[in-house]
Amino acid sequence: MSETNKPNDEVAISRRVLGGEAPIVINEITDRCLYSGFFGTLDSVRMKKVNDAIMAVADRNDHDMMIIDLSNVEVIDSAVAGNLKKLNKLLQLIGVEVVFCGFKPVVAASMISAGVELDNIQVEKNLKRSIKYVYQKQGLKLVPIQK
């Protein structure tokens, strides 16, 4: 393998899809962190499928963190918010810390109006901040590749 085609061990982002069929895909961000982005309308039936898929992947892989990106979700009602809290608790019980990100202001406002509290749940503004948080927790850092 030539020097220019040599893999770079410092690159932490994996393109390997670990699980899922539409409407959920779960990807690996680092060796120990999973990522899943939700989109569209979430309801209790869909959340059950999402929870089952995430729990199956989390159970069969050795990851201790997961980013759940909600930036493409338009509405979260109190039932769905309850399901997100339940998913967070389930993952915590099997040793996976969850980082939620991407709550739109209108979604956050409707959750607060509905009395939904996300106490003791890690929330970051966006995916970029979530990745920085995960890297910091895992003792990693993103560095430019030398050309």
What pLDDT sits at residue 109?
Answer: 85
- Establish whether the linkage from the previous residue to 23 is cis, with ω within 30° of 0: yes
What pLDDT sits at residue 23?
Answer: 60
- CATH H-level superfamily of 13-137: STAS domain (3.30.750.24)
The structural domains of the chain, with segments of one domain joined by +, span 13-137
Compute mean pLDDT per 10 residues along the chain, 147 residues long, and list them.
Answer: 42 44 76 90 84 90 93 84 90 95 88 80 95 94 86
What pLDDT sits at residue 64?
Answer: 94
The structure tokens 């990693």 sit at 140
Cβ(85)–Cβ(118) under 8 Å?
A: yes
Q: Is 0.75 surpassed by the pTM of this model?
A: yes
Q: How far is CA 84 from CA 4, 6, 12, 36, 54, in A?
A: 44, 41, 27, 13, 12
What pLDDT sits at residue 114?
Answer: 76
What pLDDT sits at residue 54?
Answer: 93
What pLDDT sits at residue 132?
Answer: 94
Q: How far is CA 54 from CA 6, 15, 118, in A?
A: 33, 17, 20
